[in-house]
Amino acid sequence: MKVRSSIYRQGLLLIVACVLSSNSSANEGRAFRVCADPNNLPLSAKSLDGLENKIAEIWAKKLGLPLQYTWFPQRRGFIRNTLKALNESGSAYKCDVVMGVAAGFDQLATTMPYYRSTYALVFVKGRGLDDVTSGRQFVNLNPEVRDQLKIGAFTPTPGVKWLARYGMTEQLVPFLAMSGDPEAYPGEIIEKELASGNLDAAIVWGPIAGFFAKRSEVEMVVIPLVSEPGIQFDFAISAGVRYGDGERKDVLEGLIRSTAAPMREVLEAYNVPLLDPVRATNTAQLPDDD
């Protein structure tokens, strides 16, 4: 029985590998082909140091397939130029899987979520905000303190809407979510602006907050923010494939189930604020394509 079970599992992995590489007979060998941003730490990077790179490695290894990337900045047009784009010969798509997309993102068929995180408030310890332990405390600071703050947030994101709700628009220092500079990366708001004192606090997506706060030379505090009516801070994160690619989606969901423990280790190593249970609650669309 154990021998038969082993043979069955090996056969299943072979079938899975064939499904993941059967986009076109013109594919250059079987591979786990990922579309990714080359300069988007902590999520992805050409150096393969991103958390999504590590998760893709886990999945490719589980399938016994080499891992290949198509790199393109995750700005407007990302999906159109990667997942939905053909190679130079027109014989196959450039890549097959997008890691780290919001569950329910309407331009892709998204898998079941593999983690859920939330936006977070970040500030430097010892600079006047040490008594703050929640978002509610932050917006209810003494006006003499609150009115002097400079708070960085990307537009459009829930943090901007949240500050406006509590009358803190004047304290907002806006940053563009989609910069035209290919060298720009989201962690700059923490590594450069917050650490240097140009900002008193920042509101950013949890994985960005946790990663860059952890590696900062100055000690930082990361406070996960709680969603409230009309403002959603927490999002479930999935992988995405082309519509109609149901077999690949099923395979990815099998990988999500079978690699939950090593994925959790990666997320914790990157200091991601994790919320349980992992469930799809997303209603927002991501502004990364047209």
**Same fold? 2-115+235-269, 117-224:** yes
**What distance in Å separates the CA atoms of residue 115 and residue 24, rounded to the nearest whole number?**
31
Across the strands, what pairs with 238? 101
Q: What is the pLDDT of residues 174-218, one digit of tens each?
A: 998 766 676 778 899 999 999 999 999 999 999 999 999 999 999
Q: What is the pLDDT of residues 73-107, one digit of tens each?
A: 988 889 999 999 998 888 899 999 999 999 999 99
pLDDT at 3 over 80: no
Domain extent listing, the chain? 2-115+235-269, 117-224
> pTM for the full model?
0.85
Structure confidence at residue 88 (pLDDT): 87
Cα of 280 vs its chain's centroid, Å: 14
Could you say which architecture CATH assigns to the domain 117-224?
A: 3-Layer(aba) Sandwich (3.40)
Q: Are strands 234-241 and 109-110 parallel, antiparallel or unpaired?
A: antiparallel
Res. 1 pLDDT band, cuts 50 70 90 = very low
Q: What is the pLDDT of residues 43-83, one digit of tens each?
A: 999 999 999 999 999 999 999 999 999 999 988 889 999 99
pLDDT above 70 covers a percentage of the chain that reads 84
Top-tier CATH class for 2-115+235-269: alpha beta
**What distance in Å separates the CA atoms of residue 14 and residue 59, rounded to the nearest whole number?**
14
**What distance in Å separates the CA atoms of residue 61 and residue 58, rounded to the nearest whole number?**
5
